Amino acid sequence: MIIGAIIVMGQAEEGNTIALILGFLAVILGTLNVVGGFVVTDRMLEMFKKKK
Amino acid sequence: MELNLLVFCYLLGSVTFIVGLKMLSNPVSARNGNLVAAAGMFVAIMGTIFLYEDEGKKLGNYGWIFSALVIGTIVGTLMAKRVKMTAMPEMVSLFNGMGGACAALISVIEFRHLMHGYDATTYASTGSSFFSSLDGTTMLIIFLGLIIGTVSFSGSMIAWGKLNGKIKDFAFKGQHIINLVILLLNIAIAAFIIVARPEETPLFFYAILVLSILYGVFFVLPIGGADMPVVISLLNSFTGVAAACGGFLYDNKVMLTGGILVGAAGTLLTMLMCKAMNRSLSNVLIGSFGGSTASSGAAGAQGGTYKEISLSDAAVVMSYANKVMIVPGYGLAVAQAQHICHELEKTLEAKGVEVKYAIHPVAGRMPGHMNVLLAEADVSYEKLLEMELANEEFKSTDVVLILGANDVVNPAAKSDPSSPIYGMPILEVEQAKHVIVNKRSMKPGYAGIENQLFFQPKTSMLFGDAKKALQDLLAEVRSI
């Protein structure tokens, strides 16, 4: 997932534009997946708090 | 030294995933469990950026990496915070798709990286030695990551479209054969490349990409809304497996752990839900209820007459009951009546009536859909009984109020072997003294079959949109 995307991005050479762009996209997608997932989970869990 | 620090970071990340997951299973520690896992993820990410080394070279392009991280975080947080609770199922699907796409892109980039030393002229002169020298195992893992990630992506996108109503169910004759052919073709091409190493390898690679997109689309397209919980869970596990492939590729412990956890948990959940519906996974994926028209013809003949109950009678019978069980279904979510439902529950409880909720595992459109729906309305989660517990309480229940649920309370699942839902465990509401069913009309539910429960002597129908019906019912109860 995102770790792989970061590695791949980091290893892309300067001149290799396509790899840079694809890597950039991959990191964005991976971040969306991770951050979105955690925030959505938090929102759902928030509703299950014990209400006084 | 730095490498060992990185290994420690990954170990920490893996441990937090496992611990966080365990904490998630307990309502009290759940939210912290989520935070723990998130913190571990953060450490693993930071560790990777600053400490990762491959053959002595650290990672570069920090500017790109950080801007991508920032963009992803901002967009992801905004999207996740602003989405309406009722749009949760499709959000989950969308984010999952992003993960699949990420895995697929990684495979594409790695493939291009692999192709780097390829020079067409050298190929001709040295006689194809380039492709034969590529490592077969690496290629296999890349292909697996590509196929699984892409299928997960396109499938999740279709699921997202279906759940927000933009995409209708679409089935055509022979599509399962076509889909099977696409899958086999995909596998065949991948195997071919690994074994034969032809010059057109890059071409075939992108062919696999396209075929995988198609497969994902056709895979999910014919599946109906109520089967979505199973599909989402399955696609989720695919993303995990694709991530694990990436983990193998880089011998990266944290990717492996995360990917395997997600893949395993997703697979288990998928199997559990299939069991709850008493349908095999292949049954869910291949057919909706195509055969139902034949069997419902026979069952429909036994329809018979149903009783309607007036709002005031329903209010009376519920107010003077000792125990009321509410069965929520997808209809409750559609009508957005969860808040009124909670109001009714509170009003009844103030009158000394015990009110609980019976939650069937596949009620709704996503695992836990009803739980999330009711929690949004501040219903205390201790009132939500899962199916087995609920079934024990029905015999001591005076009134069951069914709100927009249908197939999960259909007795044909127990008694009619020709029914498409036969064998599925249901909520045994007929054991209660009275059953009141709220629906908009007598039209069948997702399974497209008649529900004999509606014609039984203990059952009365309360027609109307759930929100309106509940509002009127609440007014009547308050006046008692």
| Model pLDDT for residues B375-401, shown as the tens digit of each residue | 889 898 889 999 989 999 999 999 999
Question: With the CA atoms of B80, B83, B87 and B91 taken in that order, what torsion angle do they form, in degrees rounded to the nearest 10?
Answer: -30
Contact A27 B375 (CB under 8 A): no
Q: Which residues contact B388 (CB under 8 A, 6 or more apart)?
A: none
Q: What are phi and psi of B399, to 5 degrees?
A: -130, 135
For the CA atoms of chain A, what is the radius of gyration? 17
Count of beta carbons in the 10 Å neighbourhood of residue B91: 24
| Model pLDDT for residues B436-453, shown as the tens digit of each residue | 999 888 877 777 778 888
- pLDDT for B398 equals 92
The token pair at B343 is 């109001």
Q: Write down the residue that tokens 């050479």 correspond to.
A: A13
DSSP labels, B126-158:
HTSHHHHHS-HHHHHHHHHHHHHHHHHHHHHHH
- pLDDT for B479 equals 87
Contact B406, B451 (CB under 8 A): yes
Q: Write down the residue that tokens 């895995």 correspond to.
A: B103
Calculate the average pLDDT of chain B: 82
DSSP H helices, B1-87, are 2-24, 30-51, 62-82
Catalytic one of B119, B135, B251, B407: B407
Of B86-90, B118-122, B144-148, the poorest mean pLDDT is in: B118-122
State how far the Cα of B357 lies from the Cα of B192, in Å rounded to an integer.
Answer: 55
- pLDDT for B295 equals 37
Per domain, the residue ranges of chain A are 2-46
State how far the Cα of B295 lies from the Cα of B207, in Å rounded to an integer.
Answer: 43
State how far the Cα of B478 lies from the Cα of B475, in Å rounded to an integer.
Answer: 5
Contact B380 A51 (CB under 8 A): yes
| Angular region, B100: left φ>0, alpha ψ -120 to 50, beta rest | alpha
Helix, strand or coil, per DSSP, at residue B269: helix
Q: Which residues contact A17 (CB under 8 A, 6 or more apart)?
A: none
CA distance A5 to chain B (A): 6
Test mutation, B42, B95, B114, chain A, max A CBs within 10 A = B95
Binned at pLDDT 50, 70 and 90, residue B330 comes out as: confident
Q: ∠ CA B420-B423-B428 to the nearest 5 degrees? A: 110
Contact A14, B57 (CB under 8 A): no
| Model pLDDT for residues B408-439, shown as the tens digit of each residue | 888 888 888 877 777 788 899 989 999 999 98
| Model pLDDT for residues A2-52, shown as the tens digit of each residue | 888 888 887 777 667 778 888 889 999 999 998 988 888 888 777 766 543
Q: Give the closest of B54, B368, B375 to A11, CB-based.
A: B54
Q: ipTM value, please give it.
A: 0.89
Contact B141, B245 (CB under 8 A): yes
**What pTM did the predictor assign?**
0.75
State how far the Cα of B183 lies from the Cα of B133, in Å rounded to an integer.
Answer: 27
Binned at pLDDT 50, 70 and 90, residue B265 comes out as: confident
Q: What are phi and psi of B307, to 5 degrees?
A: -105, 145
For the CA atoms of chain B, what is the radius of gyration? 27
Binned at pLDDT 50, 70 and 90, residue B92 comes out as: confident
Partners of B102 on chain A (C-beta within 8 Å) are: 1-2, 4-5, 26-27, 29-30, 33
CA distance A34 to chain B (A): 8
CATH topology of domain B304-478: Rossmann fold (3.40.50)
Contact B17, B240 (CB under 8 A): no
Contact B45 A44 (CB under 8 A): no
State how far the Cα of B396 lies from the Cα of B445, in Å rounded to an integer.
Answer: 28
| Model pLDDT for residues B198-211, shown as the tens digit of each residue | 767 777 888 888 98
Beta bridge partner(s), residue B328: B403
Does residue B227 carry a catalytic annotation?
A: no
Tell me the residues of chain B between 29 and 68 that have a Cβ less than 8 Å away from chain A: 30-31, 34-35, 37-38, 41, 44-45, 48-49, 52, 54, 57-62, 64-65, 67-68
| Model pLDDT for residues B279-301, shown as the tens digit of each residue | 777 777 765 443 333 333 334 44
Helix, strand, coil in percent for chain A, rounding step 5: 75, 0, 25
Of B126-140, B219-233, B256-270, the poorest mean pLDDT is in: B126-140
Beta bridge partner(s), residue B57: B54
Order of all β-strands in the sheet with B459-463: B307-308, B459-463, B434-439, B399-403, B323-328, B354-359, B384-386
Contact B34 A41 (CB under 8 A): yes
Count of beta carbons in the 10 Å neighbourhood of residue A49: 13
Contact B99 A3 (CB under 8 A): no
Helix, strand or coil, per DSSP, at residue B359: strand
Q: Give the closest of B65, B88, B94 to A6, CB-based.
A: B65
State how far the Cα of B163 lies from the Cα of B158, in Å rounded to an integer.
Answer: 9
Does residue B457 register a pLDDT over 90? Answer: no
Query: Does the CB of B389 have a partner CB in chain A at under 8 Å?
Result: no
Does residue B356 register a pLDDT over 90? Answer: yes
Contact B400, B321 (CB under 8 A): no
Q: Which of B331, B333, B324 is nearest to B436 (CA)?
A: B324
